[in-house]
Structure 1
Amino acid sequence: MLKALIALVFLAMLTSLAAGAGFLLRDHSRSRRVLISLKVRVALASLLIALLLYGFYLGDLGN
């Protein structure tokens, strides 16, 4: 369950990265969508780190 959640958060980060790149190419710095995409990506990265630490602490992700 934890591994699936980690994979889902990682895929969400990649989706946010692709969306931000698309916004950057289409909007030419005229909108705040790139900034919002970056904020979402930073929040997802923080969640991913927290999930990884939690998984290692419980022993689900280690040896």
Structure 2
Amino acid sequence: MLKLAIAVTFLAMLISLAAGAGFMLKDASRSRRTLTSLTFRVILAVLLMALLLYGFTQGILT
């Protein structure tokens, strides 16, 4: 279950990265969608690190 959560979080980060790149190329300079995408990606990165830390400290991941 934990490995699935890690994989889903990583895939969501990749999707957010691609969306942010698309927003940066297509949107006008006043659009906030790129910033929102970056904020979401940072939150996902923190979540991914927390899941990995939990998995390693509990012995679920080796």
TM-score by length of 2: 0.96
**Identity among equivalent pairs (%):** 69
The gaps in structure 1 that reach 5 residues or longer are none
Partners of 1:23 and 1:29 in 2: CA distance:
10
Listed as ranges, the matches of 1:18-57 within 5 Å are: 18-57=18-57
What's 2:11 paired with?
A: 11
TM-score by length of 1: 0.95
Aligned residues: 62
Name segments (4+ residues, structure 1) moved above 3 Å. Answer: none
